[in-house]
Structure 1
Amino acid sequence: MARLAVRGEELIVELTWWEKITARHSDVRVPLAAVEKVTVERDWRRALRGEPSRGVWIGDLLQLGVREQADVRDFVAIRPRRGPVARVDLRPEASPFARIAVSDRVPQTTADGIRTAVSQHLLTAAGPRGADPGPVPRRRPAWLPGRSPAPAPPAGI
Structure 2
Amino acid sequence: MSIVTRLHIDGGDLVARLPWRWALAARRRTVRLPLKFVDEVRVEPHWWRALRPRPGRRYRYRPGRWCVGEIEHARGRDFVAVHTRGPVLVVSTFGRDAPYTRLVLSTAAPEAEAIRLPRLTADPSKS
TM > 0.5: yes
Correspondences of 1:6-155 after superposition (within 5 Å): 6-53=9-56, 54-81=58-85, 83-121=86-124
- Paired residues of 2:5 and 2:16 also in contact (CA < 8 A): yes
Amino acid of the residue matched to residue 16 of structure 1? P
* AA at the equivalent of 1:29: R
- TM-fit CA distance, 1:11: 0.4
**Alpha-carbon deviations, 1:91-137, whole Å to 9, x = none?**
2423211000101221111111111011224xxxxxxxxxxxxxxxx
Structure 2 Cα separation of the partners of residues 120 and 21 of structure 1: 33
**Cα distance in 2 for residues equivalent to 1:50 and 1:6:** 29
Larger Rg: 1
CA contact (8 A) 1:24 1:55 kept: no
Contact 1:57–1:63 (CA under 8 A) maintained in structure 2: yes
Unaligned runs of 5+ in 2: none
Measure the CA separation in 2 of the matches of 1:62 and 1:114: 24
Deviation at 1:4, TM superposition (A): 2.2
**TM-score (ref. length: structure 1):** 0.70
Structure having greater relative contact order (Cα 8 Å, sep ≥ 6) = 2
Q: Map Cα deviations across residues 125-153 of structure 1 (whole Å, 9 max, x no partner).
A: xxxxxxxxxxxxxxxxxxxxxxxxxxxxx
Q: % of aligned pairs identical?
A: 34
User: Does the C-alpha gap of structure 1 residues 26 and 105 become closer, same or farther in structure 2, counting only changes over 3 Å?
Assistant: closer
Unaligned 5+ segments in structure 1 are 122-157
Question: What is the number of residues matched between the two proteins?
Answer: 120
Question: TM-score under structure 2 normalisation?
Answer: 0.86
